[in-house]
Structure 1
Amino acid sequence: MLRNNNVVFSCFVFYAVLLLLKMYVLAFITGQVRLRKKAFANPEDAMRHGGLQYHRLDPDVERCRRAHRNDMENIFPFLFLGAIYSMTGPSLGTARLHFVAFTAARVLHSVAYLAALPAPTRSLAYVAAQVPCLSMALQIMAAVASYA
């Protein structure tokens, strides 16, 4: 447990770290696909791995990069919202539900992206992750509205 004894914040930290580890896994997968497909973004990397002909785009590498970029566009706001939300005094059960729902939806989103699952799997996962974020944002606004 963290020193401030805020169990909701400790719960948030657990899921935040899981999400960051998931992002590292996506980065690793992107690098492995790049190496396997010999598709390098920088000429110096291409030269190291066989020549300038490998300084090119590859659809599989680009799919991994898009999945990673989408994570950054969604997980970073969650990290901010979740940290602030944890300070508003929600019940542990309600907070955990928000954190688990977001984490599960983002994992599903990444799997759907990388495996090219049929539509609308990825879109539904995206929306499912937005619901807890919107809920936390509204609860934060309600908690601080009297101070604005």
Structure 2
Amino acid sequence: MLGSDIWMCFIFYSTLLILKMYIIAIITGQVRLRKKAFANPEDAERHGGIQFCRTDPYVERCLRSHRNDMENIFPFFFLGAVYSMTGPSSAVARIHFVVFFLGRVFHSVAYLLALKAPTRSFAYVIAQVPCFSMAIQILIHVASFA
């Protein structure tokens, strides 16, 4: 199974999603430095004083983007892994993984750049379609065993 095309495709896109999450974390840190808005007093003291232990709207936006990634990418890992084990078509599985990945990238860009509504919502829905599809296909596959 580990050498299958479907599994390797899933691992590839899952790894890209993890890297994307790391990038969002790095962006958040850089925005904190640029805006001088630190979550912890010791960090604020190191970068100018306790007055910089504060919130900033754009730092909060970055954090919400990262939180949204965790709320959506972690379930994808489960669904994609289980879906990969159900013997789907290689081409169909690839489409599921690519659409989810692109939807999440688009969602992050829309979130971080505060693009006009409903851009972010559209990206969210696009990424949810393959997850919903995989969940349904998993349930159909395992229903005969239940």
Q: Shorter-chain TM-score: which interval?
A: over 0.9
1:29 matched to 2:27: yes
Equivalent-residue separation in structure 2 for 1:120 and 1:106 (angstroms): 15
Q: Equivalences for 1:112-123 in 2 at 5 Å?
A: 112-123=110-121
Equivalent-residue separation in structure 2 for 1:53 and 1:34 (angstroms): 14
- Over the matched positions of the two proteins, sequence identity in percent amounts to 70
Equivalent-residue separation in structure 1 for 2:25 and 2:51 (angstroms): 23
One of 12, 23, 29 as aligned partner of 1:14: 12
Q: Once the 2 structures are TM-superposed, how far is the Cα of residue 6 of structure 1 from its aligned partner?
A: 1.6
1:42 matched to 2:70: no
Q: Equivalences for 1:57-76 in 2 at 5 Å?
A: 57-76=55-74
Equivalent-residue separation in structure 1 for 2:50 and 2:32 (angstroms): 14
Q: Secondary structure at the match of 2:88?
A: coil
Equivalent-residue separation in structure 2 for 1:112 and 1:5 (angstroms): 35
The answer for unaligned runs of 5 or more in structure 1 is none
* 2:81 equivalent in structure 1: 83
Q: Once the 2 structures are TM-superposed, how far is the Cα of residue 146 of structure 1 from its aligned partner?
A: 1.2
CA RMSD of aligned residues (A): 0.8
Aligned length: 146
Which amino acid is 2:62 matched to? Answer: C
Q: Deviations over 1:104-137 (max 9, x none)?
A: 0000000000011000000000011110000000
Equivalent-residue separation in structure 2 for 1:21 and 1:5 (angstroms): 22
Q: TM-score, normalised by structure 1?
A: 0.97
Q: Once the 2 structures are TM-superposed, how far is the Cα of residue 89 of structure 1 from its aligned partner?
A: 0.2
Q: Equivalences for 1:86-97 in 2 at 5 Å?
A: 86-97=84-95
